[in-house]
Structure 1
Amino acid sequence: MSAIPREVAHPAVEDSFSAPVRTGASISPDGTRIAYLAPWRERLNVWVESVDGGYASLVGVTFTPDVFAAAVDFCGISSLVTFLRTVPEFVKPHLINDWYLHAGDPSDAEQEAEPWARSPISRAGQIRTPLMVVQGGNDPRVVKAESDQIVDAFRARGVEVEYLVKQNEGHGFVNPDNTIDMFRTADHFLARHLGGQQPAGSVCPGRTP
């Protein structure tokens, strides 16, 4: 029986290179770089979100830092190793036929190196793309520590990072006020890096310092 090749999110990033508009990317004015706004459940013009999408966004800005003008990560995984160790107990039985199969089991010393090598945090030394990170403070699936560690890595290198945390949200936002704030903040963030225009005197409340 042949081994199943391990692939996690990297093909999604490659798709954005070959057909950026089709995959929901936004092109910079000079036509040379893109902000990765990949489709989420086939809906275009929604930035990358959740376990797969947010991780793909972070892969893009760490593994291919010269390609993207900016990126938005919504509750994404920064380390496959720490993610797989902190998922809720009721999720762990499903990891055997899913994440362990395609990413590797970090509890196995022989396999741990592979998920680490596929983790955005392992490429922290290459970070230079401006990033916005959105996180729910009560997220049980992708815990806040996943976002904290990639934000810390960006700030340690002096790279701009916008960090929006809503303590009363979990894995995905359900509060309308929080959702509006998230879209407003992302709009301003992307406008700065893609040549858009921000309303004069406008502010983006709710960001962490």
Structure 2
Amino acid sequence: YSTDAKGEFAEVWRYDLTTGEHSPALKDEWDVSFIYFSKSGRYQVSGVNADASTKVSIIDTTTGKAIAMPSLPAGNLRGVNFSADEKTMAFYLNSDTSPSNLFVWQLGESKAKQLTNTLSDAIDQNDLVESTIVRFKSFDGLEIPGVLYKPKQANSNNKVPALVWVHGGPGGQSRTGYSAMQQHLVNHGYAIFAVNNRGSSGYGKTFFHLDDKKHGTDDLQDIVYGKKHLQSLDWVDADKIGIMGGSYGGFMTAAALAFEPEEFKVGINIFGVTNWVRTLNSIPPWWESFKKALYDEMGDPATDGERHRAISPLFHAKNITKPLMVIQGANDPRVLQVESDELVAAVKANGVPVEYVLFDDEGHGFTKKENRIKASNAYLEFLNTYLDK
């Protein structure tokens, strides 16, 4: 079983059903994401969330030694499985520049065989960008990590516009790996800095809880300081930095425009909460098991309603002066359409440009490829119009 009760990170522990004894099985300097075994138990496969990438280790339990893997492209392994005779291993490999592909490997051979090529024939993989892990100091000196994508054409003589990307959650994590949406924007000349603000998972439980009941304040300042870091890079146009994100990241986008109205030039709110009072008071039945954890982090509306109103961008929309795009699913059970309707109307009343894209056949997130494409093209058109002009 997995627990972080014994330290900062999730560890794997063993429980003996006969003796009732608990003992450590596997730990690392990061969260151990998974552990499992081949059919006979000879091979142990484990994965660690190492600085926003998955590090997989395979051990021969008969010798205790790691299995030497064949030469592979850079990326994150997942879905490792062994054949019944334990002579063949299959796995998926995903990277910044390639969606997941299926490989098979005969143990001991020098090369693995790639069985699929899932990247579109219309895309040259050489045009895609590998990320780098970057850290910066926030307002209080706390070190904040992030995943940075630099367009190939960017340099000190050709500065590019940039976007701070905020992940969902609260408590999510931006990780390395293939993102068609991010690569599309980077390919069109926009740098992306996916900031893992305080409260993000993957960096220990202390870091994870630093934003408890401080949402829209301390974590928002991490995002602002992420923007300041972008401005320090000689290949970024310091006057052309926007913010975007989905779900909780959509909230942070709207919060940035409402509470730090001069920091970002534009914002793209994708399925984002803007009224925490309504959201926390209308939790659907299937969220019931998650409600206590959410209340522990966000606060109980019975006692923290005033703070929820104070951090909700909808109630402070009069402060928004920069162009805004809102993406909404008509069937969203978490962020009701009325919430985005109200935000869009309020910002329009300020005389501020607002683009509103409503998907009649989506909920909280995209399920249809054609809608993802439509949204990605909408992001690009909006940014070309209002950020890189």
Q: Give the TM-score taking structure 1 as reference length.
A: 0.75
Q: Is the 8 A contact 2:257 2:320 kept in 1?
A: yes
In terms of fraction of residues, the more helix-rich structure is 1
Choose the corresponding residue for 1:180, options 339, 348, 373.
373
Q: Which residue of 1 aligns with 2:280?
A: 84
Q: Is the 8 A contact 1:79 1:120 kept in 2?
A: yes
- 1:4-153 → structure 2 map (5 Å cutoff): 6-20=213-227, 31-36=238-243, 47-50=244-247, 52-98=248-294, 100-106=295-301, 108=302, 110-153=303-346
User: Structure 2: which amino acid aligns with 1:60?
Assistant: A
What CA distance in whole angstroms lies between the structure 2 residues aligned with 1:192 and 1:177?
Answer: 23
User: Structure 2: which amino acid aligns with 1:32?
Assistant: D
Cα distance change on mapping 1:21 and 1:176 into 2, 3 Å: farther
Q: Which residue of 2 aligns with 1:192?
A: 385
Q: Is the 8 A contact 2:344 2:354 kept in 1?
A: yes
What CA distance in whole angstroms lies between the structure 1 residues aligned with 2:258 and 2:224?
Answer: 15
Cα distance change on mapping 1:75 and 1:178 into 2, 3 Å: same
Higher-Rg structure is: 2
Shift of 1:30: 5.2
Shift of 1:15: 2.4
SS at match of 2:261: coil
Question: Could you report, residue by residue, the CA deviation over 1:103-154 in whole angstroms, capped at 9, with x for unpaired residues?
Answer: 3322x2x431111111111212211111000011111122212211211111
What CA distance in whole angstroms lies between the structure 1 residues aligned with 2:362 and 2:383?
Answer: 23
The count of aligned residue pairs is 175
Moved over 4 A (4+): none
Higher RCO structure, 1 or 2 (CA under 8 Å, sep 6+): 1
In terms of fraction of residues, the more strand-rich structure is 2
Q: Is the 8 A contact 2:258 2:316 kept in 1?
A: yes
Question: Could you report, residue by residue, the CA deviation over 1:11-65 in whole angstroms, capped at 9, with x for unpaired residues?
Answer: 4432233233878xxx9x85135201xxxxxxxxxx4001x11111111010011
User: Structure 2: which amino acid aligns with 1:178?
Assistant: N
| Structure 1 spans left out of the alignment, 5+ residues | 37-46, 197-209
Q: Is the 8 A contact 1:33 1:67 kept in 2?
A: no
User: Structure 1: which amino acid aligns with 2:245?
Assistant: V
Shift of 1:9: 4.3
